[in-house]
Amino acid sequence: MARQAYRAQLLRFDPQGKALYDSDGLLVTERGADGVAHVLDAGSHAAVVARHPGLATTDWSGRLIAPGFIDMHVHYPQLDVIGSPADGLLPWLEHYTFPAEKRFADPAHATEVAGFFLDELLRNGVTTALTFATTHPASVDAFFTQAQARRLRMISGKVLQDRHSPDGLRDETEQSLIDSEALIERWHGKGRLGYAITPRFAPTSTDAQLQGAGELAARYSNTWIHSHVAENHDEVRWVAELFPQARSYLDVYQRFGLLRRRAVYAHCIYLDGTDRQLMHETGAAAAVSPTSNLFLGSGFFDFAQAREQNMLHGLASDVGGGTSLSPFHTMLAAYYTGREGQTKQGLSLAPTELWWRHTGGAAQALGLDGVVGTLQPGSEADFIVLNPQATPLLARRTQRAQSLEELLFALIVLGDDRVVERVVTA
Ligand code: GUN
Ligand code: ZN
């Protein structure tokens, strides 16, 4: 059937991030000529059904339909190091992460992990992710092949790292750029797939590699750029030693042409006002990764300043530094991080804002507004069906919810993959 209708409680967002809620809602989707289902209409059951008389409807009363979650920054090859404690970022990379990533020289291993990763994302209600692969081009082919088989909207890219990296992971400057361009040509814009030019972080790329990445980013202007910035004190000090001419860590990326719309930087903890202004002016976005920042002891993202200076930002798991692929866990950690008031201004993020930052707000930060994340008419029909009664305590607490904010807060605090009953992708 080209046209489908689903009746349940319905959560959507308007393009400005305002939550729209119908306690008895109807979502109507229609498959286009390209085989991708889009939202045709959505709103209260009474209003929408009047516009589409006679439409057969799937009844999910008692459930909540919501946009699929978007993970703005994750590493699919790091599933096998999740939960590996270390003194901080740099020892964690050396002892756990780099050895695990070396194994992706084997395409069979990459294929197995990529498939497992995508199935885990879906089980957790995540329908779009921007993910690191590894330095091996075959790790990108494996990932996109698996994503394509599941017809998902996914973004990834080959990691660029031509120095301060072990044998088996370190790439060669010129070849790394040739490989990246070939992967862009092969995958970017193919169905719902997108390519991200992915320098790991400034310390593991030479000037020549960063320069080449910036040139590629200018030539292929609607690709993504994906990296890390200002995550950890030792890392920030190291960057200052390696790039003494740069004003700040973020300024290194600016000098090489790596700040623009669709440039996504994980963490953004140790930015100053000038850096945030630069993020705002260039349209680059922060991927806030609170479970990772708490687990690795990196620090606390400043939500108040991000808002104040109009810096695009959204939520991310950063697995394997992060401890969970569940958006519920990430939203709760974001709430704790916002509350922290010793190193910055503490604030209480509203549940609707936390939810927006992991759906439509993340889409906006990725330059995918109007495409996914809101269930606005015309957007792709990637959505999830949540069971607010999934556990005894959830059932008890959500029954007593007096408002949308209370319902969403109960799900954020008590929810996990058990809440995600179905995932429907375009
Ligand atoms: N900085 C450079 N590489 C990484 C990584 O793999 N994870 C995190 N969290 N930070 C990084
Ligand atoms: Zn990361």
Architecture of domain 69-365: Alpha-Beta Barrel (3.20)
Q: Which of 81, 84, 89 maximizes ligand 1 atoms within 8 Å of its Cβ, making it the mutation to test the pocket?
A: 89
The mean per-residue pLDDT over the stretch 147-161 comes to 98
The ligand whose atoms approach the alpha carbon of 321 most closely is 1
Tell me how far apart the alpha carbons of residues 100 and 141 are, in angstroms, rounded to a whole number.
18
Domains 3-67+374-424 and 69-365 share a fold: no
Nearest to 375 by CA among 384, 387, 383: 383
Strands 19-31 and 37-44: antiparallel
Dump pLDDT digits (tens) for 323-365: 999 999 999 999 999 999 999 999 999 999 999 999 999 999 9
Q: Where are the domains positioned within the chain?
A: 3-67+374-424, 69-365
- What's the pTM value of the predicted model, to 2 decimals? 0.98
ipTM for the complex shown = 0.99
CATH of 3-67+374-424, one of 1.50.10.10, 2.30.40.10, 1.10.110.30, 3.40.50.620: 2.30.40.10
Taking the centre of ligand 2 as the mean of its atom positions, its distance from the CA of residue 313, in whole angstroms, is 15
Q: Distance (Å, rounded) from C-alpha 179 to C-alpha 104? A: 16
226-280: pLDDT as tens digits:
999 999 999 999 999 999 999 999 999 999 999 999 999 999 999 999 999 999 9
Q: Dump pLDDT digits (tens) for 52-109.
A: 999 999 999 999 999 999 999 999 999 999 999 999 999 999 999 999 999 999 999 9
Beta-carbon neighbours within 5 Å of ion ligand 2: 266, 318
At CA 12, angle to CA 7 and CA 14, rounded to 5?
A: 140
* CA 292 to ligand 1: nearest atom: 9
Q: What are 74's strand-pairing partners? A: 131
